[in-house]
Structure formats: C-alpha cells, structure tokens
Amino acid sequence: MMREFNTLEVAVEENIAVITINRPKFLNALNTEVLRELAEAADIIDADSSIRAVILTGSGEKAFVAGADIVEMQNKNVLEGREFSSLGNKAFSKIENLKIPVIAAVNGFALGGGCELTMACDIRIASNKAKFGQPEIGLGIMPGFGGSQRLPRLVGKGIAKEILFTGEIINAERAYEIGLVNRIVDATELLVEAKKIAQTIASKSPLGVSFTKKAVNEGTNLDLERAVSLEVELFGSLFSTKDQKEGMSAFLEKRQAAFKGE
C-alpha cells in the first residue's frame, strides 16, 4: 500500500503509478522534502512488482517543476549544499534506475532541476504549454542534478551548450525539434496520452522491458563492444524466463500473451 506524502500525490491505477509533485504555489520547486519523498516513492514502487510503468507530472496548470527551491538553497553553507546535492542525486538516480519505465508528463515550466528531472526519466511527453531551460548560470551556479551530462547525451553537445550557456527558456516545439521531448500534445490530453504509452508498455513483457531499459542505460556509458556484450548477456538470460516462453507460445498459438514478469 502507498503511504501518504506531504509534497507528492501518488495514485496507482491498475498497474500504472502516477506521481504528482504537489507544491503548486511554489511552482512545484524541489525542496529537501520533495527530494526525500521522491526517493521514498521510487523505493516503494520498485518493490511492487504489480506496477509496470510510472508517470511523473506536476500539480497545477503552470509548472512541472520550476527548479530546485531557491528560497531553501539561498542560505545554505558548503556542508548543507553537499547534503542537498547528495539527496537530490540519490532521488534522481533512483528514478533513473527504476526497473520500470518512467514517463515525464511535462505540463508547464521544467526549469533547472525540473528540466534535469525530466531527463532522468525514460520518455518525455510535453503539453503545448511546456517550457524547458537550465537558468542556473543566471543564479551564479551551474546545473547540479546531471543537466550538464544528460542534456548533451539527449540533444548533442552543440545545442546543449547553447541552452546551458544562455539559460534561454525554450518552448515545447523547440524541445521537440531538438529531440528533448518525444511528442507534444494538447495540455488537456497530456495525462491521457502518457497513460496510453504507459498501458502499451504495461501490456508487454515486464522482464523484456526492464532488461531493455538496463541495456540502453548502462550500454550508452560503455564502448560499443562492451555494450553489445551486455546486450548478449541480458538477451541470453531472458531465455530462462516464463515471459519468453509465454510470449513465443502466444505468438505461435495466435493469442494475446499474458506476461507475469517471471
């Protein structure tokens, strides 16, 4: 059972979890409590094998997440800054490394830590009102939740550097054009569309999906030869699973597969 959170709403419908960051008055800015609760929600979801996909979104009409909480950060000393950083990185890496896919449904501003949070997710869907940017350089800092690393991996170094050095806020069309988001949908259709993608994923083999996620995430940090060996290993080990037997039997028997993730 999901516990109650102060800064998140977590709803599980059938086998899809929807996490809504819920501080709309502060444009869902990431403070210590949000980061702690996100890490905790990720742990709970990861331990629940009935959940097959996660949607992450922001509360209200205006923002996904307008960055790390500037009010909280303003007076931090080095030690507190380090603590905040380690908490944030822990939360982000838990989200990135969840066994199941995470879809960011970006409903508004995704700035700084908010943009970085979308990049720790597997798939990004933007509403036509979404806006992205890394404005840290205007605050005398630089991206601290992986933005200088994940953005160039997603959109290429040149475009990433332009966004990182200028702090320019880009709209959904530009984000789509550079490959930062997978698709743009009308704001009213955002969650419907995210759920459709989540349901499609949920209908496939959970082990196949999770091994594929691992292959992509870990493989992109390796040279091609090692990355292909990783794929060989993961591919091979799927042949010890019931999902593989079921998937192939179902195809040959011309019926829908019923995967159990075993």
233 is known as an active-site residue: no
Question: Least distance in Å: CB of 239 to ligand DAK?
Answer: 42
Nearer to ligand DAK, 77 or 240 (CB): 77
Question: Least distance in Å: CB of 69 to ligand DAK?
Answer: 4
Question: Least distance in Å: CB of 110 to ligand DAK?
Answer: 10
- Given the residues 33, 37, 40, 116, the one annotated as active site: 116
| Contact residues: ligand DAK, CB under 6 A | 26-27, 29, 66-71, 81, 84-85, 88, 109, 111-113, 135-136, 139, 144-145
- Given the residues 61, 80, 136, 162, the one annotated as active site: 136
Tell which phi-psi region holds residue 119, choosing left (phi > 0), alpha (psi between -120 and 50) or beta: alpha
Nearer to ligand DAK, 112 or 247 (CB): 112
Nearer to ligand DAK, 31 or 212 (CB): 31
116 is known as an active-site residue: yes
Alpha carbons 194 and 106: distance in angstroms, whole number: 10
**Are residues 50 and 193 in contact, defined by beta-carbon separation less than 8 angstroms?**
no
Question: Least distance in Å: CB of 35 to ligand DAK?
Answer: 10
Cα dihedral sign, 235-215-173-52: positive
Nearer to ligand DAK, 68 or 104 (CB): 68
Catalytic residue list: 116, 136
